[in-house]
Amino acid sequence: MEKFVIHHTDLLQGKVRISGSKNAALPILAACLLTHEPCIIENVPPLTDVLNMLEILKGFGAEVSYDMEKEVISICARELTSIESFYEQAGKMRASFLVAGPLLSRYGQARLPHPGGCQIGSRPIDLHLKGFHTMGAKSKQEHGIIELTAKKLKGANIYLDFPSVGATENIMMAAVLAKGKTVIENAAAEPEIIDLADFLRELGADVQGDGTDTVEIIGGKELGGATHQVIPDRIEAGTFMVGAAITGGDIILENVREEHLKPVIAKLAECNVKIESIPEGLHVYRKGKLQPLQLKTMPFPGFPTDMQAPFMSLMTMAKGTSVITETVFENRFTHAGELQRMGADIRIESRNAVIEGVDELTGSKVRATDLRAGAALILSALAAKGETEIGDIHHIERGYYKIDEKLRGLGADIQRTEEN
389 and 1 in contact (C-beta within 8 Å)? no
- Binding annotation for UDP-N-acetyl-alpha-D-glucosamine: 94, 123-127, 306, 328
Active site residues: 118
Task: Give the integer Cα–Cα distance in Å for 149 and 177.
Answer: 15
Instruction: Single out the residue of 335, 313, 333 nearest to residue 379, CA to CA.
Output: 313
pLDDT at 69: 96
60 and 81 in contact (C-beta within 8 Å)? yes
CA distances from 157 to 8, 185, 193, 213, 220 (A): 54, 8, 18, 13, 16
Task: Give the integer Cα–Cα distance in Å for 367 and 3.
Answer: 9
Residue type, 10: D
pLDDT at 95: 82
Task: Give the integer Cα–Cα distance in Å for 67 and 356.
Answer: 47
Q: Which strands make up the sheet holding 206-208, listed edge to edge? A: 157-159, 181-185, 214-218, 206-208
Task: Give the integer Cα–Cα distance in Å for 170 and 173.
Answer: 5
- Binding annotation: 22-23, 94, 123-127, 306, 328
Q: What is the DSSP string of 224-278?
A: --EEEEPPB-HHHHHHHHHHHHHHT-EEEEES--GGGSHHHHHHHHHTTEEEEEE
Beta-carbon contacts of 402 under 8 Å, excluding residues fewer than 6 positions away, are none
Beta-carbon contacts of 69 under 8 Å, excluding residues fewer than 6 positions away, are none
pLDDT at 122: 43
pLDDT at 89: 62
In 3-state terms the chain splits into helix, strand, coil percentages (rounded to 5) of 35, 30, 40
Task: Give the integer Cα–Cα distance in Å for 167 and 174.
Answer: 10
Task: Give the integer Cα–Cα distance in Å for 94 and 125.
Answer: 10
Helices 262-270 and 234-247 cross at an angle (nearest 10°) of 10
pLDDT at 138: 96
Q: Report the CATH number of the 2-18+232-418 domain.
A: 3.65.10.10
Instruction: Single out the residue of 34, 143, 36, 39 nearest to residue 87, CA to CA.
Output: 143
| φ/ψ (deg, to 5) at 92 | -90, -15
Q: For residue 354, list its beta bridge partners.
A: 323, 347
Task: Give the integer Cα–Cα distance in Å for 138 and 135.
Answer: 9
Sign for the CA dihedral angle at 124, 127, 128, 134 comes to positive
Q: What is the dihedral of CA 53, 59, 65, 67, to 10 degrees?
A: 30
Model pTM score: 0.94
- Binding annotation for phosphoenolpyruvate: 22-23
Q: Give the Cβ contact number of residue 161 at 10 Å.
A: 10
Beta-carbon contacts of 279 under 8 Å, excluding residues fewer than 6 positions away, are none
1 and 419 in contact (C-beta within 8 Å)? yes
401 and 69 in contact (C-beta within 8 Å)? no
Q: Give the Cβ contact number of residue 369 at 10 Å.
A: 24
CATH 3.65.10.10 intervals, the chain: 2-18+232-418, 22-229
State the CATH architecture for 22-229: Alpha-beta prism (3.65)
pLDDT in tens, the chain (420 residues): 899 999 999 899 999 999 999 999 999 999 999 999 999 999 999 999 999 999 999 999 999 999 999 999 999 999 999 988 765 666 667 788 999 999 999 999 999 987 754 444 444 689 999 999 999 999 998 888 899 999 999 999 999 999 999 999 999 999 999 999 999 999 999 999 999 999 999 999 999 999 999 999 999 999 999 999 999 999 999 999 999 999 999 999 999 999 999 999 999 999 999 999 999 999 999 988 999 999 999 999 999 999 999 999 999 999 999 999 998 866 678 899 999 999 999 999 889 999 999 999 999 999 999 999 999 999 999 999 999 999 999 999 999 999 999 999 999 999 999 987
302 and 267 in contact (C-beta within 8 Å)? no
